[in-house]
Each structure stands twice: as structure tokens, then as C-alpha cells.
């Protein structure tokens, strides 16, 4: 209980001590007006009549976000390969770098132990569903163009991604590192097709000893820029 008061007092102390300079305009108080212009200097003969040019900033449709869905195959170590699907959103910071968030789902099959032993089950059916989210940084390493016939050209990008997240599988949330490469094929300036290969790494101790599992996923997707 004592610690709670300590934190409360700290918050009050910090806000009051955070500097009058910082807080004076917090609620619109304080002197915001510029000092009045001083009277014209007696020595000034020419009164400049140059209008200050107004520089306008155009309202342009910014399309830096990319959202989409994907489907593919995920191989869960010891649990076989199954269909996976997910959603992704990306924000393009520069022509090279982007941030990406993905959420996805797949299902684990039976381990060889479960198949050979007959009826024994290591985990329940609901625990076999694998869900993950990842927060990644991406880099467009090989931008380019492809040509279909003589009259058609499409922009493409080969990119690398790496990031962190969490995977829920076999009854626990598991800290996950994922990395991979992808190929973005732009059908026009706003719609793209993706082909991705990723490796999700997490620690699992279900089969006796703790080990780092590699879970490879490849998927095809569609995204739209907005």
C-alpha cells in the first residue's frame, strides 16, 4: 500500500517539477502573443511593399500503407505441414524500408510418437491450433521490373524481413523470432501479389528436452496500397 502512495506522490511531483516552461502552454495559459512590432526606425526611408508569397502544400493521396491477406503452407517441427493463412499490414517509411505486422494461423498434425504409439496424445486438439503475430522490419533489397511480352511491364521488389512476435501453440505463448524473404509483384500502382518464405523460431520442451524449433512457412498473398 505504501508503494502505491509513493508512486502517486512521484507522479504529482513530476508533473509539478516538469518545468514551468514546459507546462505553461499545456492548457492554453501563458503568454503566446509575440511582442508588438516596434515603431518604424527613424532612419528607414523605403517602406518595403513586397508581399510574402504564400506557399501551399498540395493535398495528395498518400498511399504508404499496404494491407492484404495470404494463404500457404506451414511446416511445424515434429507436427507435420498444414495449410496456413493470415493477414498483414505494412507501412512504407522510405522507398527501401517498411514496417510490417502479420497475424496468422495453422494447425499441427500428429507427431511420429503419437502415430506409432497408437492412442497416446501429447496435446489436445485445441492446443494443436497454432496462431502467431509478428512485428517486422522489411527492406526492399532488389527493386526491379519484369516484362510480359512486348507491351507490358510490371514493377517488382525482392525484400527481406526480420522481426519478433509470439506464437501460441501446445498450450503456451512462445516468444518467436521470424525472418525471411518475399517477392512483391505490382499488378498496377495499388495492387500487389506476394510470394513469401519465412522461418518462425521458438523454443519448445514438449518432447522431453528444450529445443529451438524451426517452422517454415511459404505463402501467396494479395495486398492493396492505400
Q: Does 152 bind other proteins (CB under 8 A)?
A: no
**Are the beta carbons of 73 and 104 closer than 8 angstroms?**
no
The whole-angstrom separation of Cα 146 and Cα 153 is 6
- One residue of 67, 71, 83, 135 binding other proteins per CB under 8 A: 135
C-beta closer to other proteins: residue 32 or 116: 32
Q: Does 57 bind other proteins (CB under 8 A)?
A: yes
Strand partners, 38: none
Strand partners, 174: 167
- Residue 83 Ramachandran class (φ > 0 left, ψ -120 to 50 alpha, else beta): beta
Kindly write out the interface string for residues 71-90 of this chain, putting x where it contacts other proteins by CB under 8 A and - elsewhere: --------------------
- One residue of 95, 125, 150, 209 binding other proteins per CB under 8 A: 95
* Smallest separation (angstroms) from other proteins to the CB of 5: 10
The whole-angstrom separation of Cα 102 and Cα 138 is 12
Q: What is residue 109's three-state secondary structure?
A: coil
**Are the beta carbons of 155 and 173 closer than 8 angstroms?**
no
* Smallest separation (angstroms) from other proteins to the CB of 138: 12
Q: Does 47 bind other proteins (CB under 8 A)?
A: no
Q: In this chain, which stretch among 35-43, 93-101, 107-115, 216-224 interacts with other proteins, using CB under 8 A?
A: 93-101
**Are the beta carbons of 91 and 102 closer than 8 angstroms?**
no
- One residue of 82, 105, 131, 155 binding other proteins per CB under 8 A: 155
- The cell 518462425 sits on which residue? 200
Q: Does 172 bind other proteins (CB under 8 A)?
A: yes
Q: Does 23 bind other proteins (CB under 8 A)?
A: yes
197 backbone dihedrals φ, ψ, rounded to 5°: -130, 125
Chain length of the chain: 226
For other proteins, the binding residues (CB under 8 A) are: 3-4, 6-7, 10-11, 14-15, 18-19, 21-23, 25-26, 53-64, 91-95, 97, 99, 135, 137, 140, 143-145, 153, 155, 164-166, 170-175, 189, 205, 225
Amino acid at each position: 500500500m505504501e508503494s502505491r502512495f509513493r508512486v502517486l506522490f512521484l507522479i504529482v511531483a513530476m508533473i509539478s517539477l516538469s518545468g514551468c516552461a514546459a507546462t505553461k502552454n499545456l492548457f492554453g495559459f501563458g503568454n503566446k502573443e509575440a511582442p508588438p512590432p516596434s515603431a518604424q526606425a527613424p532612419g528607414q526611408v523605403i517602406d518595403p511593399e513586397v508581399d510574402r508569397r504564400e506557399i501551399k502544400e498540395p493535398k495528395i493521396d498518400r498511399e504508404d500503407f499496404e494491407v492484404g491477406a495470404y494463404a500457404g503452407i506451414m511446416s511445424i517441427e515434429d507436427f507435420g505441414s498444414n495449410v496456413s493463412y493470415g493477414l498483414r499490414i505494412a507501412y512504407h517509411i522510405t522507398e527501401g524500408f517498411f514496417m510490417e505486422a502479420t497475424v496468422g494461423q495453422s494447425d499441427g498434425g500428429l507427431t511420429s510418437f503419437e502415430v506409432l504409439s497408437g492412442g497416446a496424445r501429447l496435446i489436445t486438439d485445441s492446443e494443436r491450433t497454432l496462431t502467431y503475430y509478428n512485428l517486422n522490419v522489411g527492406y526492399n533489397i532488389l527493386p526491379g521490373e519484369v516484362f510480359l511480352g512486348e507491351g507490358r511491364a510490371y514493377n517488382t521488389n525482392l525484400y527481406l524481413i526480420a522481426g519478433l512476435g509470439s506464437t501460441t501453440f501446445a498450450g503456451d505463448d512462445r516468444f518467436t523470432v521470424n525472418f525471411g524473404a518475399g517477392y512483391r509483384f505490382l499488378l498496377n500502382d495499388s495492387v500487389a501479389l506476394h510470394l513469401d518464405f519465412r522461418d518462425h523460431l521458438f523454443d519448445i520442451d514438449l518432447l522431453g528436452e528444450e529445443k529451438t524449433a524451426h517452422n517454415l512457412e511459404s505463402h501467396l498473398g494479395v495486398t492493396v496500397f492505400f
